[in-house]
Amino acid sequence: MTLTVLWLTALIMFAGGTALLVLGKRRAETEGVMSLAHGIVPIIAGCLYVAMATGQGAMLLPTDATLAGAASTTRIFWFGRYIDWVFTTPLLLVGLGFLGMFRGRKRGDLLLGAVSADVIMVITAFAFSASENIASRWIWFLLSCIAFLGVYYVIWVSQLEANRLEHPEVQSAYIRSATILSVLWMVYPIILALSPDGLGIVSDSASVLVIAVTDVLAKVGFGFISLSDDRKLASV
């Protein structure tokens, strides 16, 4: 089942990314830039899903029971997903920031703040999943959650303040997109904490499925929503 999910997700990512890029050819320059950014995101994800499906984006690590001296068992460490996220999530945040500051000056400090917190969040989440020491694993998880809150702060405080200077339709589009992305991204820390990398409450196949579905929604689905908003707001 897991391999089927990985291959199917890769195909959806490639198809979605191609569609987003094609849409950009029929649009104005600014819309084309957004199409390019959102099209690249699922294509990068598709490549990493292929890597995980072929075993090049995963490795075996001992379980907590093995480390405690029990019979030797292993868990799959899907490190490919973190390579995906460290490239794709910053692009999504930049796209969201550009939407929020649609007509006004694109504040580099806000974009850099969101991207920096995001990269720290992904790197510390990688360390969480890679840790073979239980104590250090949850320290990394806590640090990742703190960085995650930093991303939310930029989205819902700093960028929202800049967004209030925009046209009401731009404000509505930003709040809608920020809400969608924030809700979808909340799934990741929850499922990682419950997966075999964390508490082991949810099986590996189930966690892979949940992350794959969330990835498709956050990358392909969100991309189409963002491009639709961009097209509508171009005439505002």
> Would you state the pLDDT for residue 203?
95
204 in Cβ contact with 1 (< 8 Å): no
40 in Cβ contact with 95 (< 8 Å): no
> Would you state the pLDDT for residue 174?
94
Within 8 A by CB and 6+ apart from 141, the residues are: 124, 125, 128, 189, 192, 193, 198
> Would you state the pLDDT for residue 103?
80
Q: Tell me which residue of 173, 190, 188, 185 sits closest to 218, measured CA to CA.
A: 185
Per-run averaged pLDDT (10 residues), the chain, 236 residues = 96 96 65 78 98 96 67 86 98 91 84 96 98 93 98 96 91 95 97 95 97 98 89 73
Within 8 A by CB and 6+ apart from 120, the residues are: 143, 144, 147, 150
Quickly tell me which residue has 């850099």 as its tokens: 112
> Would you state the pLDDT for residue 25?
64
Between the alpha carbon of residue 182 and those of residues 89, 105, 151, 186, the distances in Å are 12, 24, 9, 6
> Would you state the pLDDT for residue 150?
97
> Would you state the pLDDT for residue 113?
95
Quickly tell me which residue has 């589009």 as its tokens: 173
- Chain mean position to CA 208: 14
> Would you state the pLDDT for residue 236?
63
Beta bridge partners of 62: 74
Which SS3 state, helix, strand or coil, does residue 77 take?
A: strand
Which SS3 state, helix, strand or coil, does residue 62 take?
A: strand
Between the alpha carbon of residue 17 and those of residues 10, 39, 120, the distances in Å are 10, 4, 26
CA–CA distance, 169 with 189 (Å, rounded to integer): 32
Within 8 A by CB and 6+ apart from 50, the residues are: 7, 10
> Would you state the pLDDT for residue 127?
98
> Would you state the pLDDT for residue 66?
60
CB atoms within 10 A of CB 231: 15
92 in Cβ contact with 114 (< 8 Å): no
